[in-house]
């Protein structure tokens, strides 16, 4: 079985402008490309698991999602990094779907599709819902980043919800490599 790092997208990998709906809005956070390249060299699959309710709300066109992810690939390519797989929820919160984080379905689907051992994998995000999804899926550890909503999240939740905190994704690398 393979191991993976599951990553929230907006606020963890890239700046979160609020309902990122155009490829031109995709801007990596500092150190992200190099960190993702390093994780790939260590043998981790990189899986984005993201709630994208902007699609369900009519704020993001479904046909723009592949363009946004192609732009992310372009930004990662110079350091030979890439996202291996995307699992996305397009539902609005009030739809009470089974795939929206904090439920673990996005991680479980990716694990099944790609033969991933969740007990050897990690979840990284900037919101409590990311951490809860990683815990519920059975990840080895869940990490909170201080980017995006991370600092606000850290103040609002119990430390028992996460295994480590770092100001940015590049500092998470040291926690995973321990």
Positions annotated as catalytic residues are: 8, 10
120 CB contacts (<8 Å, ≥6 apart)? Answer: 1, 3, 140
Counting Cβ atoms within 10 Å, is residue 123 exposed (0-12), middle (13-18) or buried (19+)? buried
85-89: strand order across its sheet: 85-89, 44-51, 3-7, 122-125, 141-145, 164-166
CB atoms within 10 A of CB 64: 15
In which residue are the tokens 């390519």 written? 77
């Amino acid at each position: 079985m393979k191991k993976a790092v599951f990553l929230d997208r907006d606020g963890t990998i890239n700046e979160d402008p609020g309902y990122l709906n155009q490829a031109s809005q995709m801007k990596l956070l500092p150190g992200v490309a190099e960190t993702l390249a390093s994780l790939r060299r260590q043998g981790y699959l990189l899986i984005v698991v993201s709630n994208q309710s902007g699609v369900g709300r009519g704020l993001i066109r479904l046909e723009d999602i592949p363009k946004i992810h192609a732009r992310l690939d372009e930004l990662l390519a110079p350091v030979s990094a890439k996202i291996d797989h995307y699992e996305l929820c397009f539902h609005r919160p009030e739809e009470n779907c089974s795939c929206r984080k904090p439920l673990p379905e996005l991680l479980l689907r990716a694990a099944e599709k790609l033969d991933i051992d969740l007990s050897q994998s990690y979840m990284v995000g900037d919101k409590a819902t990311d951490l809860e999804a990683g815990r519920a899926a059975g990840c080895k550890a869940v990490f909170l980043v201080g980017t995006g909503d991370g600092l606000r999240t850290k103040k609002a939740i119990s430390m028992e919800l996460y295994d480590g905190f770092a100001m940015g994704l590049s500092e998470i690398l040291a926690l995973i490599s321990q």
